[in-house]
Amino acid sequence: AYFALQVIYARRQHRISPPRTTGHPEFERIFRAQVNCSEYFPIFISLLWVAGIFFHQGVAAACGLLYLYTRLRYFQGYASAAQGRLAPLYASARVLWLLLGLAVAGLLAHFLLP
């Protein structure tokens, strides 16, 4: 919701009416950052859910908070400069891989161990 509000504020600030998605470079960076975060959200929620159910809720929750923090840093970095998104992007990808590993480990333990 925070990212969507930032897009709304940028639209107002730069006078870019929907459905336009181009205009001022600052608006375009904010818009792309919001869209990129939205694209990854279903993957994140799915992995968080499976890791929480089959591995451990506390560990999954900690990873979820870390992921949300890295995406916030990604959004802030991308909003200021396109190169500012790279380090947080890689960090959030590592957290997603960790959640994937936890989910797979939990599923394997659940279905393969007696």
Q: List, for residues 28-82, the tens digit of each pLDDT value.
A: 999 999 999 999 999 999 999 999 999 999 999 999 999 999 999 999 999 999 9
Q: Is the pLDDT of residue 114 over 80?
A: no
Tell me what percent of the residues of the chain surpass a pLDDT of 90.
98
Q: Which CATH architecture has domain 1-112?
A: Up-down Bundle (1.20)
Percent helix, strand, coil in the chain (nearest 5)? 85, 0, 15
Amino acid letter, residue 26: E
Which pTM value belongs to this model? 0.93
Domain positions in the chain are 1-112
- H helices of 15-85, in order, are 25-54, 57-80
- pLDDT given at position 58: 98
Q: How far is CA 4 from CA 31, 34, 61, 90, in A?
A: 8, 7, 23, 22
Dig out the tokens for 113 from the structure. 């161990």
Burial class (CB in 10 A: 0-12, 13-18, 19+), 59: middle
Local structure of 15: helix, strand or coil? coil
Residue bearing tokens 């939990």: 106
Angle between helices 25-54 and 57-80 (to 10 degrees): 170
Q: Which residues does the annotation mark as catalytic? A: 12, 85
